[in-house]
Amino acid sequence: MADKSEIRYLNPPSIEVKKDKYCRFKKNRIKFIDYKNPDFLAQFVNEQGKVLPRRITGTSLKYQRKVAQAIKRCRHLGLMPYVTDLYK
């Protein structure tokens, strides 16, 4: 059984460069997430208009809750849809 080092790959395995996610609210010190402008909140929502999980946006727990609450208020005010397709 050829040991590890002798195995040659047909094409070199693409090493996923690990881009470390950061919480954009902590980085640019945003303290208040405004529920009145839907364009900013649209970045945290997928095509169906659902709130994106933290593992994708990388925001910290504290700000994820604020973003989720702001999105819900925005939806209540009719500025953002509850559910849609091809939202972007």
Partner 1 sequence: MSNHYEAVFIMTPVLSLEQTKETADKFKAIITENGGAIVNDENWGLKKLAYPIQKKSTGFYQMYQFESSNGELIEKIETAFRRDERIMRFLTIKLDKYGVEYAARRIEKNKALGTKK
Task: Fill in the amino acid letter for 40.
Answer: F
**56 lines the binding site for partner 1 (CB under 8 A):** no
d(CA 52, CA 87): 13
**54 lines the binding site for partner 1 (CB under 8 A):** no
x/- string (CB under 8 A) for partner 1, residues 3-42? ----------------------------xx-xxx-x----
Site residues (CB under 8 A) for partner 1?
Answer: 31-32, 34-36, 38, 73, 75-82, 84
